[in-house]
Each structure stands twice: as structure tokens, then as C-alpha cells.
Structure 1
């Protein structure tokens, strides 16, 4: 059995008869690696297990009745290597099972591509004993490779191996541990589509790359560049000797225009530079090393481009071609200009900027003009430049008025549906005054819109007069907290009950979201009285006057708040009379109310765990009330409310809650009856 170090392993041992061995005896031994004597590993004797002090070894209690004497070794180490034997000495005949365990087998290689231009592949493996790592092609042939890292840590060897490939193939990284007869591999596929393409403008210089892999000093060898499509000799380096008058074989086209990189030859770099390129230089080039141990070839395709000439008759249309090798430019920008020797007189012809087209020169503006005889048919052209399929979309033609900008509706295509008697330009719904009406609005194709936003407006001819009818925003609708709905469409739900009876005021989220861990507030809007507050259930603390009290405030996420801000306030019906209790703002504490100065502290050591709790010392009855803790600057701001009751020996005055109930005496009576 082969396992990686640190993993758990089960050594199997089961009787073929599957007879109950709960009251029998079996034991496990291991052949020691040095003296070859047996070493006790585990023993079970009629209900009593013994692991010889090795806590990582245990058996399967529930499986004994099925004849299963297997054991598990947790967190295996290299020292666990060896041959294990499972004995049943009291069975007739006695039975013995042998297991060979090899810990430290190499992990599956991790294969990555470091460079998709030079196609450098990297393989990382770790294991013990030290694995032999090789790169192979699909035929099993070993490739030239360089070991870039070998290290040993925590009892395992870590090896990194790199190779460069030049052709399409499936390549395999193989790790072999001959000592334990273990081999594992990982594969990757490489697709190299022809020679490397380099495109330059006519008249510029260009470097054609050619570097050996692995890197090898080529100062004392030979390399040759040829233009393979027409057989021209471009450049030759032969142990320091170049094309010259004494070696006149260089083609006339390249004489005096080609050079190499003398200072980079030691690193195997045979790249060349061609200066002042012409269109005649376009073609395929080959760099070869004929005299190294394993000859290598490199292919480059050079494309030298200049302005393209297109001739057309005056008055005709013309398409100016411009294509990217990589497609997909709808979300980017491109522009066309008519060039001039004087940059100030260059003209903007066309700009595409994610659909916007500003700043076009007047010469190129204006609708396309089509002239036809009255009574004849005419085709108005309209084609997407992307040639995208529009059968499942919508497009509209309108006749535009130059005066108003509005226009007549000419043609509608909507996923195969056209204007007709059943589909006029505007849907008309007629209802009696006072009745309800449903205004239909469906997406096509059907799509779930619960997590998105839609809005209804009453449209007016004057854009500023449009009224806001309805808003849905991911479950949120117009409300007191989103008050933009027009007054015409607001109407509270009316519930009529007899005086003295109970009433339920309905309020449910459309999304049916769980509210147990959130906050909501009910208010009486005509006089702004607070009726009910729920904040994960309002926490109530009751302490005796003169004692200290800790007001809890901890983030559920246990997020580090040392570098942010939180503050505590004592709430009041009047916002102006709210009291600043404590502010943490990266250790700055401004603006604290006089009542709390010198009496409030936080827990600096627990800020890292999201604890914003505070302690108020020497409490007084004046400290009673509702406190709010807010952490406003985190990704999801959180608010906590605490109600504090500071009491003396007796309740000698009504205790006023922050919630605005009308009958304060009732509240006092309830509190007194539960606490005296």
C-alpha cells in the first residue's frame, strides 16, 4: 500500500468466514527496519484493546462482529514503512495476513504552463524516498529539462522541473520511486498553431527571437537564420565569424541591416534585429543550431505592413477594413481618423466607445440619403457590424421629425411578432372609475426577476411631469424609508376594529426573508410615535444603582474592528437630546457627554474579535434607558440596542421606557410587579 506522509491509512484484515471475533484474540506486528525483529503494533483480546502507547493506532469496534480486525494508523510517518502482519493465533488453523506499507509516496505532479509564447512547462513533485522526475512526450521519449529547485523539509523532498516545447503534443511529467516501486504522472496538452507571428510597420526595426532551452553558451558554436519561403540567407554566426566580404553568402536584401546580441550569446540567445524593414521582408524565418548535441529549430512569421490602397469611384460607398486577430470589441473603444501631415488638421471620421459616437467631424456626419421615384419600393438598410443573429430580439423603425425629435412608428420586430391589430403601438386598457386594474408587464423570454429591479412610471408628454407609480428593488418597495412614490399612488391599508379589541397590523417581505436576526420598527406616522422595535430581540439588562455594568456589542462575523469606528449613544425621543456615551475612532474619543466622562471604557484586547462592548462604572438611575451601538464603516454596517434598568431598593417612581406608550403608569406597575 502506498500513501503520502501525514495521511491516514487502513490496514485491512478480515476473516473470510465473517465470524464474530468480539471475544477472540488477534494482534498486529511489524517487521522492524533495522534488526528485523517483530515489533508489536496493536492487540485485541476478548474485548480489551491495547495499542502499546500509540494513540494514532485504533481498530473498528463496530466491525468486530463481522470478522473485521482491520486497524487504522493516523498521521502516518516515514518510520511507519514496513511489513505488517495480522495474527489470529487461537483459530484452528491459525490465520495470518501480511500487508506491505510504503509511506511518503510521491504526490501527483502539479503541472503548469509558465509561458505560452516560448511554451515553458513546469512540474512540481514532493515525496520520500526522493523521486526521480522526468518530462516525456506522448511517445514516452524523455525531453531536455532543467531542475530549478530541490529542497527537503518535514521529511519530504520537493522537486521542480521545467522544459520548453516547440510543437503540439501531450506532455507527461513522471515521478518514479524505484525503492518502493511507485510511479505516478500528470499530463498536459499543448497546442502550438504554426510559427510565431510578429507584425511591424514598414520602416521600423524588428527583433526575431531565438533562444535555446535549456540555456546554453553558444559563443563557440554556430547558428543560422534563413528566410524559408524564398530561401534567402539572412544571418550566420560561426564561432564569432559573421557574414562579411570574406564570407559573402548573405543575400543582398539583408546586407548591412541585420545584427545579433553579442552580450547574450552566453545565455543561449541567438535573436537578431532587422533594421528599416520593408514589405519584401515579410515571410517565414527559421533559426537553426546544426551542431549542438540535440539540434533545435525555431520558426518566426514576419508581417511588415504599410497603408493599404483602396480605389473607388466618386459618389460610391467604401468599406475601410480593420480587423483584430482577437475578436470581441463591443465593450472597448476604437476610432478612425483622416490623417494629415499637420496634426491639427486631422479629421475625426468615426469613434466607437461602447456604443457612444461623439466629436465626429462635420464632413462625415448626416443620415444616409436614398433617392427613389414616387410609387416605387425602397429598402432602408440597417445591419449590425457584428453580423449578430437578431431573430430572438427586438428592433424598431421610426420616422423622425427634425422639429420635435419625435416620430411616427414605422415597423416593429419583436422576436417574430410585428405591429398588427392585436399589437398596436400602445396597449389600451379601459376600466370603470373606482375599480382595480392590473397593468401587464412580462419579460420574454421568461426570466426570474426576484433578485433584480423594475419600476413603473406614469408617462407625461413633459418629461419632468412623470409620476412614480411603483418600484421593486430586490424585494424592497416604496415605503417610509424609500419615499419617492408619487402622492397620487400612496394609500395606507385600512383596517377597522372595535375599540378595546386586539388588532394585527400585517407587514411581510415579498422575499419571505428570515427576520429573526435583523431589525424592524413600527411607528405611528401621524404623530411620529414609536410603537414597536425588534432588534434580534431587545436585550434588557437590570443592575443595582452604584454597580458597574457591561453593555454587550459583538459582531456576528467576529471581524477585526481595530482600524474602524464604532460609537455608543443613549437614545431619546428627541434626536437633539441623544447623549454621546462612547466613540472609538482609532483611539480618538471626542464629544463625549458630561454624564459619562471618566466612567466608560472598552475592551482593547478584544477589538480584533469584533467586540465593541463597553463598561459603565458606578451606575446611577439617570443611566437607565435604551443604548445603541453602531459599527458604521464595515462592509455591512451593524446596529445593536440594549435596554438598561438601574434600580434602587424599591421602585419609588415610574420607570419610563424609550418606547412611547401612552399609559406610563401601566408600564411602571408591570415592571414593579416583576422585580420587587
Structure 2
């Protein structure tokens, strides 16, 4: 009877362990990171990264790296402290985690006083749960105009070339073109053209390449050029109180002179680091091994009980034959 109770208890525990393991394998926490918006030199940025569903990372080793650097470590957190001795010197005193958010699975990295050389691919790794993901950081550096003046003839349509280098998405920023004396030639803000403050001389004659602005192309198209359009133009990209700018010259000839510049095109595809598929962790393996051991123990206990029962029945069957005749 005791063996039966033990066997049933073991089988019940086995079911619980398998359910636990199956739940963790089918719905593990996955590390998800997202790409931040365009960052300006000198500003601070957060590289968002968290475990979903939430799983405490307080006792985990958290590694932020840049594979293209040597040493590659940007920030390493383990056993409740920052391992500054592993950090790449370029990032000294500029990185931190939100330690109070680690219990919520938030392992985001804050990077202060961003420089142009900070642009690149960052990788967040949690070795204890075999999770990692990548974040691409883009830093606005330069607005590039043209070293040579654009040549045009009266009545021509021209393109004044200007682009971001390296290419970044400017569709959420303010792009503005002005003349040397400050007259507004064209303004783009809040994801659309703003003609309210445009100089009357240019109304109905200017446009941007909206479908290429996500590639950093902020070139201006000016149609039906006149002699009064000749001069220097400035292209701005503004964000709050910060701005980047460069100049483009326009030379207009009244004669039939064909000396025209093509527009500069800048294109880029921002890589997205792959997110590794969920993998079995040490916890999963331990649960499965324990379940197998318990199953074997239960089977052995059942065989022992069955053998004893069979022997008892045989003994009872043979007992009358051993009684002496009177």
C-alpha cells in the first residue's frame, strides 16, 4: 500500500514538473530591443531593451557590446556592480543601466554626450538565459550641400543638392531652405510642407523629394528659374534648438548655356540585428532531467510492488499443499 502512495505521489509530481517545463519552453522571456530616434552630437540617448514577458534581470550578467570595437565591451553589469575594468575607454563615464528597473526585465542602456563615433551597432546579451538582440544607433553629423554652383538657364528646372551624411531619416525633423538674406524658400515641418511663411517669390515653384527623405535626401527642386533666383541658398535641418546647415550656389544665365549639375543622391539601409530564437536554458534542462529521474524511480517502485504482490499470491496459492494430512 505504501508503494502505491509513493508511486501516485511521484506521478503527480512528474505531471507538475512537465507542465512547468512545457510552460517555460513554450512561452519564454525574449529580449526585445528597439532602435532609438535620430541622435544629435552632444545629446543623451537611451538604447531600449527589455525582457518580454517581464523577467527579473537583477541577478543576471548584462553585457552591452559593439562588435566592431576592441575591446568590444561598452557596459557590463554582474553581481550587483558595473565592471568598469572591462569597458572600452571611449565610453568612460558615459554609460549606465537603470538598476531600479532590472527587476522588471528592463536592461536599457543610457549613453551620455553622444559623439559621431558612437554611431554603429550595439548588442545586448544576457548569457544566463541565452538571449541577445541588436540596436542600430544613428548620429546626425553633417548636412552636405555642393561645393560647385548649380548652372541654369532662365526657364530651367533645377535641383539644389543637399543630403545628410551619413544618411538618416529626416521625415520627423524640420527642413528649411533660405536665401542669403534669410528669405524662406521652402520649409518642411510636422511631416508636411509649410507654405505660410514662404517668400512670395518662390510660392508654387519649390518642392522636396518626400519619398527620399527617409534616406536623408533634402535636395530642393526649383522650377522655372529666373535671373533673380541666382545666389547662395542654405539648407537647414533643425531639431529643437540644434541645427545643421550647408550652402548651395545657383548661377543663372539668360543665354542658352547648358551647364547643369545633377542632383546628389544619398541612400542607405539601416541594418537590423537579428533576434535569436528562444533556446532551452539551464532551468529547462534541470526540470526535464529531474522529471526523467522521477519517472524512472516511479517505474522501479511500481515493478517492486508488482513483484511483491505476485509472490504473495503465489505463496497463498501454495499454502494448502503444505498442510499435513490428519
TM-score (norm 1): 0.24
Larger radius of gyration: 1
What TM-score results when the alignment is normalised by the length of structure 2? 0.45
Going by fraction, where is helix more abundant, 1 or 2? 2
User: Quick one: higher RCO (CA 8 Å, sep 6+), 1 or 2?
Assistant: 2
As a proportion of its length, which structure holds more strand?
Answer: 1
